[in-house]
Structure 1
Amino acid sequence: MRIEEGFQQTPYDVLHPYADDTVLPSLLRRLLPQSAREEIEADLIRCGKRLVEEIRPLSAIVHHPTLVQYDHWGHRVDELHTSEGWRKLEEFGIKEGFVSIAYERKYDALSRVYSSAKILAMTGDCHVVMCPLGMTDGAARIIEVSGTEEMKRELLPRLISRDPSFAYMAGQWMTERPGGSDVSQSETTAIPTTRIPSDLGPPYLLSGFKWFSSAAEGNMAVALGRTSPVSQAPGSRGLSLFVIPLRHGAYPTPLSNGVRMHRLKNKFGTHGVPTAELELENTRGWLIGELGQGVKTVATVLNVTRILSALHLSGSLQRSISIARSYALVRTIDGGKTLLSNAPLHVATLADATLLYRAVTYMAFGTIELLGKSECGAASEEEEMRLRMLTPAVKAYASVRCPTAMEEMMGALGGLGYMEEVGIGRLIRDSLVERIWEGTVNVLALDLVRATKKPRVVESYMAWAQSVISSSAGVMELSAARKTIERLQGLLQNLLRLLSHALTNPLLPRIALNYFASISCGLYLLQHAIWSVGNKEQACDVDLEAFRRWVDEGDMHTYAQEAEAVLSEDNIARAKLNSQLVYGAKL
């Protein structure tokens, strides 16, 4: 039989990443005033059309970057070459305002909501271009908050530009061989100098080795360096933050500023992103922020990039669901008599993934709304506290839950889903890095616990949660969900106990983070359902059902059981048994 003979599968329709989405349009109706929403939606629909018609076909020409270290004369050149597809994606992201929208602030604090909606819609087709653009976003925010006037005048306009011929990309250099996420073990030294001009700020010479440096094609980077010896300032107390030019002004290449590319990293995913091991030898850098406050200063970047990580996960899941939805509308079973979209068991699998996408997206945009307020100086003290708790939690929780749901979407296409050209495999590979980038799940769990140590942080979150629950009281249509709301209230009270024990029990932080995140998702689902019912939205019954399922059937009950198991035992004995399970009973 020739290939064109016999059964021919009907190609599935391409869904618009915004207009055909089941979550984002409704969310923006709640978050944005009508005048702003109409303008933003028009832009999202236009951008989505470009994504489908122009950007999605670029996938075939996004390849691994290459590094040429020596020319034919044996001279060190360190020429980094990225693929044509990758360069076009970066150009697209810059022109579409991936970074700039949040800093143009046309819609004040809601500009972050606008930029994030666009980023989520772009994610599925852009091969993690949000990595270099996201770090550029973080660098822009650092300079805006802590940079010298010279940095704000010379670098900031380039970082937030929409013109690819003028715009700069920025990297972020923190990870070193001794410490990984533990920057307190950084070996890079930074020595003040008078040998170079102070045109950007206080000048330093940095020497060291940066083990994992993404966005190696950037024009500049922000980097940690040790300005005080370990003997005088142990741990992270002796670290400061610096701006390092790589392809800027007097430093047209990294080599011209004492930066050698040792090699490109051979990564499991994110293949388009050039990530390098870098040697620094008397590399010129300019202090940004206060001396010895590098970790505190660079936290500004992490607030942005961790939220962008959550968007990457949510957007990747959205694209996977979109493919599975489309396929189910054309694929038949039962000898061609039944569409998959009419098979209850199959649709139940899609519904579970869609509920997760909805919950994570609502929590992410709740966090983004707070970030926008914070950046515009419009956040209250209580909102700043809530932002501090939500930021590590939404990133870590999404990194745990979303990839598994994406695997289910791959399976929803059968053998076709396992094929590279479908795209779900790449989305899964690229999403798995979010368990590591900008802090592993355990690191973020400890960060959340640290946040709860500060006075009134937990109380502030609980007060907000109670206000959400209380706002449901006057909505009569929510009476059918009253038992679910009461159940959420009880789970919320248990959160207080769990966060308190996590301060002293070393086995609880990760469970506490997942429990906190799941409850936060439930609260945002309730918030949306209250708005939907109150405004008589067409999908109000679905919004209410999403809340009910999440709370009554969701994973927070599993996390509660895990917590009780840990709390019921001697944590020292349990930790010892854990070691014996891993390493053997001889320990």
Structure 2
Amino acid sequence: MPFLQDPPRLTNAYLADPLLRELVARALPGALGEVEPELEHLGELAAGRLFAQQAVERLLEPRIEHWDAWGRRVDHIELTPLWREAATLAARHGLVATAYERRHGPASRVHQLALVHVLEPSLDVYACPLAMTDGAARALLDAGNAALVERALPRLTSREPARMWTSGQWMTERIGGSDVSLTETVARRDGDDWRLFGTKWFSSATTAEMALALARPEGAPAGSRGLALFYLETRNEDGTTNGVLVNRLKDKLGTRKLPTAELTLDGARAVPVAGLSGGVRAIAPMLTVTRTWNAVAAVAGMQRALALARDYARRRAAFGAPLAEKPLHADTLAGLEAEREGAFLLAFRAAALLGASEAGVASDAEQLALRAVTPLAKLTTGKQAVAIASEALECFGGAGYVEDTGLPRLLRDAQVLPIWEGTTNVLALDVLRALAGEGVGEALAAEVNAHLAAARDPALRPAIEAARAALARAEAWLAAAAGPAREAGARRLALTLGRTLELALLAAHAQWCLDHGRGPRALAAARRLARHGIDLVAEEPGAEELELLTGPSADGGAR
């Protein structure tokens, strides 16, 4: 008799996610009649036809044709059918436009990213070019270049599929990685124009109609202060390439539907966005947006992995009963759900702060908190996404390791989330720099304490006490740490602060759920997250330990 198992199935991705529905009810209480029908429609699409299409296209990947039949260099990238459909859906449902139409004021960012949360797990990482498109729109607006805003913004934020553009973000080079001060791309004057020459080692929106790129104008000083931000369109009016040559598509661990490429800029015509210096400062608004998208993509991936694992637990019987009835398996899923709920609320708190800032209604304290919350949300949820995807695959036993189930993709695609838009260590150092700014640490502490103050139910006391203790230890460490020890502990500090804010947000949300008849699920999640441990500052290694474990003879001389 053949070995058969019932595969996991999905139900409506919006209706089956009580946490998302609660968030929408809290953030958009006066607009539920408008936003919920669209979310329900997209939830059905994501769990139904798009999910099925992903399975059908499992082995399809983008491919490149460098030359046409007559010897012309075309660098045409053929995308998968699902990616082509994703572009249409993104435009029609305003996955970028919603944030800029601002129909719901400061809550427009939450509305936009709720749409993304529902759809993204079924769009094969199409959120990547959308995030960069959104970030480019924000960077152009903040730079105040009226001509570029007039030309590009209506296309970047269009709801018409034939008109909407996507944008690339071209920063990473062979020599630099996250250290953009080593950028080798040169900008040279050509009459009234500028032309870019160099190589971009990692471009994840290769098929975009435009890009924002860092380059060093000839004669500018070395280091990051000599960089400028340039706008370029990837093709000329006649469809020929604007000096943008695609060397090859990357052979990656995951995100394989995404046509990531190495590019050579061979005289690409470009326009300075904000003068001939200050490029890193000019691109910073883009990074705030893309890091927020990264956090939302992370929690969307967690929800998809857990939705599949929960459904499978009800279908799969072992040792005489469904997995869902096995106490140890139920305990495992409950722990993963608690992590997911904290991560979700952190990601959407970053979105809410961004929306308030863009709408001009954020308080001074919220503006300061945003500076720390954005990197904290990105780095914390990125690490959680990988851990949850790994555990979710284990919930399927051997089926989770078999490619034609489609499940291994969940882990491969999650692995990029701690890397994109700044690695965990890069962002931990960014958090340190942010906290060194006047008032930022106080604003972040006030953010945590405000959410904890909203939690009144006695059953939440263990979570409240754990969060307050972790915050106090982090503040004490930050005040005392200096020199190499301060940098060495940056990751532990950042993850402690990220998890502390998650717990505070979850405690406050649990109180809202109790007050509004939504039940005790979030309360249970808060208590569980507190038991998982949120204080990573507690055990600080000494300098001798670091040397022993990372020095040149860390192997003890064994051969």
For normalisation by structure 1, the TM-score amounts to: 0.90
* Pairing partner for 1:513 from 494, 499, 502: 494
Map 1:330-409 → 2, pairs under 5 A = 330-335=315-320, 338-409=321-392
Distance 1:13 1:82 in 2: 27
Distance 1:404 1:483 in 2: 25
Distance 1:581 1:525 in 2: 44
Paired position in structure 2 for 1:194: 191
Greater CA drift, 454-463 or 500-509: 500-509
Paired position in structure 1 for 2:171: 174
Task: Please state if 1:253 is matched with 2:229.
Answer: no
Paired position in structure 2 for 1:500: 479
SS of the counterpart of 1:168?
Answer: coil
Task: Please state if 1:206 is matched with 2:177.
Answer: no
Distance 1:582 1:364 in 2: 41
SS of the counterpart of 1:124?
Answer: helix
Map 1:3-402 → 2, pairs under 5 A = 9-10=5-6, 12-33=8-29, 35-59=30-54, 60-61=56-57, 63-195=60-192, 203-227=193-217, 229=219, 233-247=221-235, 250=237, 252-254=239-241, 257-335=242-320, 338-402=321-385
Greater CA drift, 82-91 or 455-464: 82-91
**Cα offset, 1:241, TM superposition:** 0.5
**Shift in alpha-carbon separation, 1:10–1:426, aligned structure 2, 3 A:** closer
- AA paired with 2:34? E
Say how many residue pairs are matched. Answer: 553
**Cα offset, 1:29, TM superposition:** 1.9
**Cα offset, 1:481, TM superposition:** 3.0
Q: Which runs of 5+ in 1 are unaligned?
A: 196-202
**Shift in alpha-carbon separation, 1:268–1:45, aligned structure 2, 3 A:** same
Q: In the alignment, is the contact (CA less than 8 A) between 2:168 and 2:204 conserved in 1?
A: yes
Map 1:413-452 → 2, pairs under 5 A = 413-452=396-435
Distance 1:425 1:383 in 2: 39
**Cα offset, 1:96, TM superposition:** 1.9
* Pairing partner for 2:461 from 452, 470, 482: 482
Distance 1:343 1:369 in 2: 38
CA offset digits 1:415-450 (Å, max 9, x no partner): 222233433311211111112111111101111101
SS of the counterpart of 1:378?
Answer: coil
Distance 1:287 1:70 in 2: 31
Q: In the alignment, is the contact (CA less than 8 A) between 2:347 and 2:381 conserved in 1?
A: no
Distance 2:5 2:188 in 1: 65
- AA paired with 1:523? A
**Cα offset, 1:503, TM superposition:** 5.5
Distance 2:435 2:103 in 1: 34
- AA paired with 2:467? L
**Shift in alpha-carbon separation, 1:526–1:207, aligned structure 2, 3 A:** same
Distance 1:355 1:486 in 2: 17
Distance 1:235 1:180 in 2: 14
CA offset digits 1:470-495 (Å, max 9, x no partner): 334xx4xx123334423322221111
Q: In the alignment, is the contact (CA less than 8 A) between 1:228 and 1:238 conserved in 2?
A: no
* Pairing partner for 2:538 from 561, 568, 581: 561
**Shift in alpha-carbon separation, 1:245–1:577, aligned structure 2, 3 A:** same
Distance 2:249 2:144 in 1: 30
SS of the counterpart of 2:18?
Answer: coil
- AA paired with 2:79? T
SS of the counterpart of 2:417?
Answer: helix
Distance 1:329 1:140 in 2: 44
Distance 2:179 2:449 in 1: 36
Percent of residue pairs identical: 35
CA offset digits 1:170-211 (Å, max 9, x no partner): 11100011111110000011123434xxxxxxx421111111
Distance 1:41 1:15 in 2: 16
CA offset digits 1:385-404 (Å, max 9, x no partner): 11110111111111212212
Distance 2:126 2:44 in 1: 19
**Cα offset, 1:12, TM superposition:** 4.4
**Shift in alpha-carbon separation, 1:214–1:483, aligned structure 2, 3 A:** closer
Greater CA drift, 22-31 or 577-586: 577-586
- AA paired with 1:150? A
Task: Please state if 1:579 is matched with 2:550.
Answer: yes
**Shift in alpha-carbon separation, 1:333–1:55, aligned structure 2, 3 A:** same
Q: In the alignment, is the contact (CA less than 8 A) between 1:502 and 1:512 conserved in 2?
A: no
Q: In the alignment, is the contact (CA less than 8 A) between 2:98 and 2:108 conserved in 1?
A: yes
Q: In the alignment, is the contact (CA less than 8 A) between 1:218 and 1:247 conserved in 2?
A: no
**Cα offset, 1:518, TM superposition:** 0.7
Distance 1:575 1:251 in 2: 58
CA offset digits 1:241-285 (Å, max 9, x no partner): 01111135x36232xx21111111111111111111111122110
Distance 1:318 1:42 in 2: 20
Q: In the alignment, is the contact (CA less than 8 A) between 1:65 and 1:274 conserved in 2?
A: yes
Q: In the alignment, is the contact (CA less than 8 A) between 2:118 and 2:300 conserved in 1?
A: yes
SS of the counterpart of 2:195?
Answer: strand
Paired position in structure 1 for 2:524: 545
Paired position in structure 2 for 1:200: none
**Shift in alpha-carbon separation, 1:251–1:288, aligned structure 2, 3 A:** farther
**Shift in alpha-carbon separation, 1:490–1:8, aligned structure 2, 3 A:** closer
- AA paired with 1:18? Y
**Cα offset, 1:582, TM superposition:** 6.9
Distance 1:318 1:581 in 2: 42
**Cα offset, 1:233, TM superposition:** 2.5
Q: In the alignment, is the contact (CA less than 8 A) between 1:501 and 1:508 conserved in 2?
A: no
Q: In the alignment, is the contact (CA less than 8 A) between 1:15 and 1:326 conserved in 2?
A: no
**Shift in alpha-carbon separation, 1:149–1:515, aligned structure 2, 3 A:** same
Distance 2:454 2:16 in 1: 30
- AA paired with 1:253? T
* Pairing partner for 1:530 from 490, 511, 520: 511
Paired position in structure 2 for 1:198: none
Distance 1:487 1:148 in 2: 47
Distance 2:35 2:482 in 1: 43
**Shift in alpha-carbon separation, 1:483–1:339, aligned structure 2, 3 A:** closer
Q: In the alignment, is the contact (CA less than 8 A) between 1:449 and 1:503 conserved in 2?
A: no
Q: In the alignment, is the contact (CA less than 8 A) between 1:124 and 1:427 conserved in 2?
A: no
**Cα offset, 1:28, TM superposition:** 1.9
Q: In the alignment, is the contact (CA less than 8 A) between 2:429 and 2:487 conserved in 1?
A: no
SS of the counterpart of 2:85?
Answer: helix
**Cα offset, 1:77, TM superposition:** 2.4
Q: In the alignment, is the contact (CA less than 8 A) between 1:55 and 1:89 conserved in 2?
A: no
RMSD: 2.0
- AA paired with 1:334? F
SS of the counterpart of 1:138?
Answer: helix
CA offset digits 1:90-111 (Å, max 9, x no partner): 2222222111111111111111
